[in-house]
Structure 1
Amino acid sequence: MKFTLIFTISISLLFSNCDDKDELPEKIYEGEVNLLTQEDVDEFGSEGYTRIAGNLNIGIFIEPTTEIINIDALSSLRVVDDNLRISSNINLKNIDGLENLKSVGWSLIILDNASLENVSGLKSLSFVRNDFDISGNTLITSLDGLQNWNSKTTGLDIFINSNSNLTIFCALEGILRNNELSELYISGNPYNPTRQKILSGKCSE
């Protein structure tokens, strides 16, 4: 495999019986994965992992990349145990390859992706443990795709900053109704609604 690893612990396969015949058997990658090129994404995705027991980095914020065009190959992924970071991908237009992702065990960060048009690829996401940060994504106009993220957690922080065209926050309603956030910080977008405005239906401009 040529995909870049910050560190590797081991690779293990766990197969479980599922009631839903459409569910893939669980296949776990143990360690932290850093995907910096399209080849990295495609090669890692070809292994069919359903869970990463560690962090997943798609791009890296200190080094913007034009290499990654899509992350469609990651469609088998259901769970990231720790942090999921999608950052500084100049040519990534969508994150549809994460359409089956259900849970992020710590933080979800979507940062400085200049061509990213939406986050609808997160339509299956129902849980993030600690932080959600979506900042510096020039083309995103809406947070549609986050509607199913409504599970309860404690100590959740949400940061939504400096997205040049973001004016539609309605998808956050379920998150806000079900969680007492440690912090909600919305700033530097064309529209910056408060929690009260989102919950009262004034979620877009």
Structure 2
Amino acid sequence: MIKQLNLPGLFKLKLLLIALLLIGCSSENDPKEDEMAQNAMIEIISENNTTIDFGQVVQGAALTKQFEIKNTGSIDLIISNITTPAAFTVNQNAVTVSPSATVVVEVTFSPETMSAISGDLIIISNAISGENSLLLSGIGTSNIFEGDVILRSQQEIDDFGALGYIEITGNLYIGDASSPSITDLTALSNLEATNGLDIKYNPQLSSLQGLENLAIENRLVLVANNLIENYNVLSGISNTLSILQIAQHPNLNDLSAFENMTSLGYLFFSNNDLITDLSVFLNLTTIINKLEITNNVSLTNLDGLTNVIHVGNTISISFNEQLSSYCGLVNLIQTQGLQFISFVEMRYNRYNPSGASAIINQCEKAVADGVYDGFIRIGDTSARDYFISKNYTTIDGELAIVSGADTTGLTNTLTNITGDLFISSITSTDLNGLENLTAVGANIYVNNCSNLTDFCALNNVINSGNFNTLSVSNNAYNPSVSDFNSGNCSL
């Protein structure tokens, strides 16, 4: 008897075998895939993935760089600590990073010694694989900068300030005449000392905040910082400088930053439009080299120099159009002696004494508007044009017109000279421009003008007799007074 096969039972058995086979295959999966499915993994991303080099950093300063930590696993990466070698710190050392996420860590190098420093940054976490360390290296260098520092732009100010230097052995130069851009010096607040400081041509700079801690040992030059009203931030100025130059300040109205000066090698004070006196220098006793005061349109007196008893070189005082008192120099002249005081020609001040003796005899003088007081020498066309621009009607002194100049336009307003008139070695053929001159209080000299043949511009003054004597020689034509009176003023 033949038995029939139980087909439904065989089908069930076949399904059972297939299921067992699938289970077996599943248990043989790649262990790495299984690992990823159940664990956190760490990846460090930095400049070159294994190291961060900070290079040279000034002792006491700090430099910060970044690196990234990425979780390449499938569960949270839990970082419990990040350890660093000495002189290195991180901004966070405990953080949780989600799967596929990245966290940025900042690491800062702050050397306290001048030496090379390196070591491993180590990340302690629940990661089962991946790099967990990073080599950090840097060199601590001196916080004293050797030599001069020149900063021409705001970017250079900021970059140098970030380096952290506290001292400059040379001079610090701030500014650029050709392309001024500096507006803020606060990045330099770490600086404590410099040999010299030059701040020049900074028309947009309104404050020196950032230099409040700076000691200035030897040299201070302040030029064309148009918005500056005072330099009181500079509290560390030495009272003995080799150079003090203060120039081209339309808004400077307070000089108290300089009140402790006792000795200067060179004092140059020019084009400070609002300054009326120099009383801030009452403690100053010595100027080793030169004193120069020029183009200060509001300056009326020099009383602030009354305690100066020595100037080693020349004194130049000119183009201070309201300056009428030199009494502050009397003590200097009397102490040092007339023979040791050397004045460069004083001109275009309100009062222009001829030298030390004149100051002793009369240290101040009231001079009326429209009057030029003292001796004036015109030696080129620019000097002539400047004189004409002032519209003087009278010269209370002497006028000399010499080689390089001519007389054109000189008496547009000028009618009277109380002293001598000198004309020498000019190349003109005539004296046109002196027609309105009606009086010369002393003598008229016209000499050594090889082309001069026409003196007719002097007719008014010669024929009126408002002069003492006429001396004419070595010209192309040499007329006498009688020649003028006869109408023979030219060839």
Say if 1:178 and 1:68 are closer, same or farther in 2 by CA, change over 3 A. Answer: same
Output the TM-score relative to the length of structure 1: 0.74
State the TM-score, normalized to the length of structure 2: 0.33
Q: Following superposition of structure 1 onto structure 2, how do residues 55-204 of structure 1 map, counting pairs within 5 Å?
A: 55-59=219-223, 64-74=224-234, 76-104=236-264, 106-150=265-309, 152=310, 155-179=312-336, 180-193=340-353, 194-200=355-361, 202-204=362-364
- Contact kept, 8 Å, 1:94 with 1:118, in 2: the verdict is no
- Residues 170 and 196, structure 2, Cα contact 8 Å, conserved in 1: no
- How far apart, CA to CA, are the structure 2 residues paired with 1:182 and 1:117? 25
Q: Find the counterpart in structure 2 of residue 17 from structure 1.
A: none
Deviation at 1:5, TM superposition (A): 5.5
The answer on 1:31 being equivalent to 2:188 is no
* Structure 2: distance between partners of 1:181 and 1:147: 15
Distance 2:220 2:195 in 1: 9
- Cα distance in 2, alignment partners of residues 109 and 71 from structure 1: 16
What letter matches 1:52 in structure 2? E
- C-alpha distance in 2 between matches for 1:136 and 1:110: 9
Q: By how many angstroms is 1:189 displaced? A: 0.4
Report % sequence identity.
Answer: 23
Deviations 1:150-202 (A, max 9, x none): 1x45x4210000001000110001111223124443211010123112223x1
Asked whether the 8 Å contact 2:244–2:267 carries over to 1, the reply is: yes
Distance 2:195 2:214 in 1: 15
1:47 aligns with 2:213: yes
Separation of aligned partners in 2, 1:116 and 1:192: 19
Structure 1: how far apart are the matches of 2:195 and 2:359?
38
Cα distance in 2, alignment partners of residues 75 and 120 from structure 1: 18
Query: In the superposition, relative to structure 1, how do residues 65 and 76 fare at CA in structure 2: closer, same or farther (>3 Å)?
Result: closer
What is the SS of the residue equivalent to 2:332? helix
Q: Name the amino acid aligned to 2:221.
A: N
**CA distance 1:121–1:5, shift in 2 (3 Å):** farther
* Equivalent residues of 1:75, 1:97 under 8 A apart: yes
Distance in 1 (alpha carbons) for counterparts of 2:283 and 2:229? 22
Q: Which has the higher strand share?
A: 2
Partner of 1:23: none
How many equivalent pairs are there? Answer: 174
User: Over residues 63-84 of structure 1, what are the superposed CA-to-partner deviations in whole Å (9 max), with x where a residue is unaligned?
Assistant: x332210123345534243211
- Alpha carbons 1:94, 1:119 under 8 Å: kept: no
CA contact (8 A) 1:68 1:92 kept: yes
Shift of 1:32: 2.0
Asked if the contact 1:74–1:98 (Cα under 8 Å) also holds between the matched residues in 2, the reply is no
User: Helix, strand or coil: the match of 2:345?
Assistant: strand
Q: 1:119 to 1:97 in 2, by over 3 A?
A: same
8 A contact 2:341–2:356 mirrored in 1: no
Once the two structures are superposed, what CA deviation does each residue of 1:46-72 show, in whole Å capped at 9, x if it has no partner?
2263x522x20112xxxx332210123
Is the alpha carbon distance of 1:149 and 1:75 closer, same or farther for their aligned partners in structure 2, counting shifts above 3 Å?
Answer: farther
CA drift of 1:112 comes to: 1.0
1:31 to partner: Cα distance: 2.1
Structure having greater relative contact order (Cα 8 Å, sep ≥ 6): 1
